[in-house]
Structure 1
């Protein structure tokens, strides 16, 4: 008797993903083999990099819409200089498809393994990306790419990626000089090749600065608290939930809750529960917009944890910040190998932020009202900004200068 086989939906989905990834890999392997045969028959070589019809001097890879503003100043600088640029994206709705560029060619290359299969077969001079983990996970170095460069998409510590996130890039483009110190320490400790570390500025903050200035002020502005957490077990929304939001909702102030984008995928049940709980409270607003600048502009004070949005708010709006020290396990991150050294972002947060403790939640209105924006806090914010956001307004130009210098 032949027994019927049952595959549960989760396993079936995983097997389907593997099959799609394998098919895509075989397709691009076959394409690469065909190109190699043509090169062999023609006998043409150019040093270490085999030049072929698919070779592109300058390539950008964007893994998702959230990074468009990191690449936008770079793309526009290429267009301004009339230099051809290949822009590969894993988002069908990438904002680049709404633009009308003459020198920038955009292409959707699929997601996940499908995208990696094509990237692993690239033929290019320099490839710029925000995606970490090169040569660690599915994303591999192509032997027909001369230079891989990682652009930091945040002004905080460069060691908050998962382990070995930046180890196998040829260069890392920094937002501030301070980020180089810990990267050099890890190179020495791990015995890996030294990368080029070049401070170029923070392109997405350059974009946000202009965009937030263009937003008109509210005519009848209510006092507004922005709750903007990270995600995961130590994110304040998951860790405290109603314990934090209930007393905030009772203040009568406008409370904007902006969950981390990953929460919609990984913590959907929690968000549904909290949304249902406050659905009849008109003062509690949920913000899922792609850009955070509208909520940042409205907020009079921010409550967060270790999320990088703290620095967006601090550098762009120059207003008070409160943080909940929820604790974070650094073992999965590069920072764990710094041998106990305190991260820059934690040390400066203690200087320009005010810690909010769990036992203060019950009288949170009085606690927030007691937070005064002193000259000392203001100076600490400005000092942090000067360290982390260098070359303000010049990132696009500096990045293209660097990329051109590599070819």
Structure 2
């Protein structure tokens, strides 16, 4: 009840803002969303001196602290229930920027009160036609793409389903840039023991549901330091799996469980990653230039019509390029496989793949921020001719 009251008051405050604060609006679905839009928010509001409104469904969003010291930024909590649904249906903004797919497909709809221009920013270096549901991006006007592969997939999807052409922008991927920059400065602790990071995806098709116990046991027995970093969604929705792992391995001195996702040190400390179909494999390999082991479990596919787009998803074809695919039946040989992969590992090959799959741009954040402003200005000029706020 208190949550709804807070959301209602916050939404009223947002709707009472001068229209200049509703030219550019960001929406964060949860704490993870912040990782993909916060840099852009700061660049637009602080460096480029433009006013921004930020709607969030996370009551603990750090944006509330930042807004106190940023006169160009207003932040509002709109909850996850009926207040949020109402806010979306009645949104009056020139541009709304989100990392949430499936707009207009479920409970969150496009505005019926105003011709909002919707802009999507990706939260993973993955395909657009396999990992996401069919029609996940159809409601968006502009999409900021991480690499050329996504642009090709989107254009092919538009052609196949006779969809209006979206505005596609060569954005790049800021979380990858963060990893690259942080890795340059990070002072890794030297050790003779291999530090192995296990980071599975979430949902039914992940290592937990196939071979996690055998995998950890084989690596621990081989004497490696094993760091398990479950996906945030697994921590939230399926903690029983974590409890089981704790009971079995918590007494092992070379097993470490990381539940705090705000601490990323293990990404830089580790020598190799073991994952499944998680997008972290691509980020780890291309960002940190380290090898990746992929446990070959069934692929997660949310789009039953993905076969109609005759393009191999990036998460499928890149696996053999940045690491090694290991069958479940080969888990007992994981130590030998890791040693082989580490021996043949070449950073220069991964650096070439980074430039192949991701838009790597000098001063990319500033360019993306300026593109957002350009779109917002164009939308504002168009809307002022047709409608008054």
TM (normalized to structure 2)? 0.86
* Pair 1:368 & 2:368 matched: no
Instruction: For 2:125 and 2:344, locate their aligned partners in 1 and report how far apart those are by CA, in whole Å.
Output: 24
* Pair 1:98 & 2:65 matched: yes
Secondary structure, counterpart of 1:248 in structure 2: helix
Q: Pick from 306, 314, 317 the counterpart of residue 336 of structure 1.
A: 306
Secondary structure, counterpart of 1:280 in structure 2: coil
Residue aligning to 1:80:
47
Instruction: For 1:55 and 1:96, locate their aligned partners in 2 and report how far apart those are by CA, in whole Å.
Output: 16
1:96-147 Cα distance to aligned partner (Å, 9 max, x none): 2232322111222212443232122111110110011111111111141431
User: How has the CA–CA distance of structure 1 residues 369 and 361 changed in structure 2, closer, same or farther, with 3 Å as cutoff?
Assistant: same
Residue aligning to 1:70:
36
Residue aligning to 2:97:
128
Instruction: For 1:244 and 1:109, locate their aligned partners in 2 and report how far apart those are by CA, in whole Å.
Output: 42
User: How has the CA–CA distance of structure 1 residues 393 and 224 changed in structure 2, closer, same or farther, with 3 Å as cutoff?
Assistant: farther
Runs of 4+ aligned residues of structure 1 deviating over 6 Å after TM superposition are none
Q: Contact 1:236 / 1:304 at 8 angstroms: preserved in 2?
A: yes
Q: Pick from 241, 247, 255 the counterpart of residue 270 of structure 1.
A: 241
Q: Pick from 272, 277, 282 the counterpart of residue 301 of structure 1.
A: 272
Unaligned residue ranges in structure 2 (runs of 5+): 378-389
Secondary structure, counterpart of 2:231 in structure 1: coil
Q: Contact 2:323 / 2:341 at 8 angstroms: preserved in 1?
A: no
1:339 CA drift (Å)? 4.4
Residue aligning to 1:280:
251
Which of 1 and 2 has greater Rg? 1
TM (normalized to structure 1)? 0.82
* Pair 1:350 & 2:317 matched: no
Residue aligning to 1:154:
124
1:90 CA drift (Å)? 1.1
Q: Contact 2:297 / 2:328 at 8 angstroms: preserved in 1?
A: no
Residue aligning to 1:61:
27
Instruction: For 1:403 and 1:53, locate their aligned partners in 2 and report how far apart those are by CA, in whole Å.
Output: 17
Count of matched residue pairs: 368
Q: Contact 2:158 / 2:165 at 8 angstroms: preserved in 1?
A: yes
